[in-house]
Structure 1
Amino acid sequence: MERGPEAFAGAAFALFGAGLLLWTGVRVRAGAPVADGVSRPVAAVTALLAGVVFLATGCWLLAAL
């Protein structure tokens, strides 16, 4: 009963983290801004770190099943 919400949360975190990493990579490679009004290196590093944290959290939740 308790594994359903944990699996959903793990999948949601992992998908969001992977999507954020993919989107950030595409934006950086194309030379497009990652965030509006922020310097490119700061925005890219922040988005990459957030993507890694979300992906790691999702994998951790899914591994705990």
Structure 2
Amino acid sequence: MESGPEAFAGAAFALFGAGLLLWTGVCLRTGAPVAEGAGRVVGTVTALVFGAVFLGAGCWMLTRL
């Protein structure tokens, strides 16, 4: 019963992290800005760090089921 919310949260975190990393990669390839209003390097590094953190957290949650 308790693993249902944990599985949902893990999947949501993992999908968001993977999507953020994919978005960052596409923006870097096309030369589009990663975050509007932020510097190119700062936006890219921030997006990569948070994408990796969310993906790691989601995978960690899914392995604890």
What pairs with 1:14-25 in structure 2 (closer than 5 Å)?
A: 14-25=14-25
What pairs with 1:1-65 in structure 2 (closer than 5 Å)?
A: 1-65=1-65
Give the fraction of aligned pairs with identical amino acids, expressed as a percent.
Answer: 72
Runs of 4+ in 1 over 3 A off after TM superposition: none
Question: The residue matched to 1:50 in structure 2 has which SS?
Answer: helix
Deviation at 1:31, TM superposition (A): 0.7
Under a length normalisation based on structure 2, what TM-score does the superposition of the two structures give?
0.98
Structure 2 unmatched ranges of 5 or more: none
Structure 1 unmatched ranges of 5 or more: none
Under a length normalisation based on structure 1, what TM-score does the superposition of the two structures give?
0.98
**Number of residue-to-residue matches in the alignment:** 65
Deviation at 1:37, TM superposition (A): 1.1
